[in-house]
Homo-oligomer: A and B are copies of this chain.
Amino acid sequence: MKRRKVEIYDTTLRDGTQGEGINYTVRDKLAVAQKLDDLGVSVIEGGWPGSNPRDAAFFEGIRKIRLRSATIAAFGSTVRPGKAPSADANLRALLEAETPVVTIVAKTWDFHVREDLRIELDENLELISKTIAFLKKRVERVILDAEHFFDGFAADGEYALACLRAAADAGVDLLCLCDTRGGSLPAAIGDATRAALALAVPVGIHCHDDSGLAVANSLAAVEAGAVQVQGTINGFGERCGNANLCTLIPDLQLKMNYRCLDPQQLQRLTEVSRFCAELANVELERRLPYVGRAAFAHKGGLHVAAVRKNRATYEHIDPALLGNEQRVLVSDLSGRSNVVSKAEQFGIDVEGRHDELASLLSHLKDLEHSGFQFEGADASFELLMRKNLHPFQRFFKLVGFRVIDEKRSDEGDTGCEATVMIEGPDGVVEHTAAQGNGPVNALDRALRKALTKFYPSIEKLQLHDYKVRVLDGQAGTESRVRVLIESGDGEDRWGTVGVSHNVVEASWQALVDSVVYKLLKDERIGARKPGAARRAKPIRARRGAA
């Protein structure tokens, strides 16, 4: 049996940006559109050209970019009461966007027509009809977003359907039914969708997550016969967000046997999810189904032991289908399985090291108790493991550092300078200084400047992210803080952690771990160069700790 196709309509760039904290520049929007095209969505709604200059600029920019398969939609509302369509600034802006698809939002709930538009019910029908007829003559494909359709259908079903009929009679190509307030339940969604299908125009579904049911409601509509699903990457959107395409697409394709994307494209879903979050500069909820960092993360000792035997015991699906991966977490709920699994991942030999493993586990629990968290700092955990199981020689020793921040007036900027003195191999001391955009940046630069003398590869090290977390809320800026640093060298990325009452001290710990991790990594790669075994060898045991 041929699998039924469901069209994916992405509105991350329009409805998604109504979400708290979601702000894209024009450049961001163009980059997101290209990612969505790579992913293979059918329609990309780029914005509301009549509402702000940024969206208008996006449509100008996207016309110059050749997309592989996606078509671009511009969004706007029905003509203003009393205006002729050709004289309506909003509709004119839509046409100027020159997109093959135009989506028009229209009221379909009598309450909204009365309370928000404050016009007669019949006048609203006319606005819909006039708008669609006007656009149909000028645009390839016209979609109606039937705002509040499900609330409208519950309140006055006849009127809600009359609104759809006005659009259908004017030649609309698709009726997208919106649960704008996100308050409907799946059974009601199914019933109303079936009622709309009686108009013999293809139907789509657009849900919001205010009852935690955006995905379930979208699935209910598809099962009732909807052929288009509107949603956003990561569920970005106003209030509780829109239906999350990163959940909906795998549900439809992997669980319900519909066709949405090519399987190769589906493997980019995790990448696209993180890309859209990165550009919006928001922290992604790690529990997001399918694409979240924790979606396939195992923490409880029993579960880790089971997935080591067979992944399907606690994974409903293979994470590789979405480009995601399994992770084993280390915490005080961890058993030996978690630690052994990590050791394997790091290529650390733990064969027959029962006592060392036990003492490592107990040390780990103490560190976690004092505020360390290794879930986001694999590199620090790897160093901890190596120090306990296969000690290696320290690369350098701190003699001392000093950082000075200074500001000399209300208007002046704050200047910052760090001095660092370290002892490198063979007792050679390097004393240097650097300016920076803050104490940690200055320290980071001075440390790397000093180390580059001994280890030139340090130049490639980059700090990508720097996070500070106050641990005991009540004490304000006196609290203990945990610093997480994400570093990279163009090939890999790694996370390190530091904890202290002093943010500079905590940052220093994380910086040092990052640098030591890089140096160890380079040493291992050196050992792997021509002639060496492909599998990472345990670092040779040397005296002392890093």
Contacts and interface: CB of A to CB of B under 8 A. Distances in A.
Interface size for chain A: under 10, 10 to 19, 20 to 34, or 35 or more residues?
A: 35 or more
A23 interface: yes
20 contacts: A20-B293, A20-B329, A183-B255, A183-B317, A186-B186, A235-B287, A238-B314, A239-B296, A239-B314, A240-B292, A281-B469, A400-B406, A400-B408, A405-B504, A414-B502, A438-B502, A463-B476, A464-B476, A465-B470, A467-B468
Contacts of A477: 436-438, 440-441, 444-445, 463, 466
Contact of A333 (B17, B402, B408, B465): B17
B20 A183 contact: no
A467 B378 CA distance: 22
A384 interface: no
Contacts of A375: 20-21
Contacts of A313: 111-112, 115-116
What are the nearest 5 A-B pairs in CB distance? A183-B316, A463-B476, A216-B216, A212-B247, A438-B503
A213 B211 contact: no
Q: State the oligomeric state as a number of copies.
A: 2
Interface string A11-26: 0000001111101000
Interface in A227-252: 235, 237-241, 244, 247-248, 250-251
Nearest to A404: B404
A299 B18 contact: yes
A263 B225 CA distance: 38
A351 interface: no
Contact of A283 (B238, B283, B397, B481): B283
Contacts of A300: 18, 238
Contacts of A331: 23
A517 to B, nearest CB: 15
A468 B303 CA distance: 35
A412 to B, nearest CB: 8
A410 B439 contact: no
A288 B413 contact: no
Nearest to A293: B20
Interface in A41-55: 51-52, 54
A528 interface: no
A437 B506 CA distance: 10
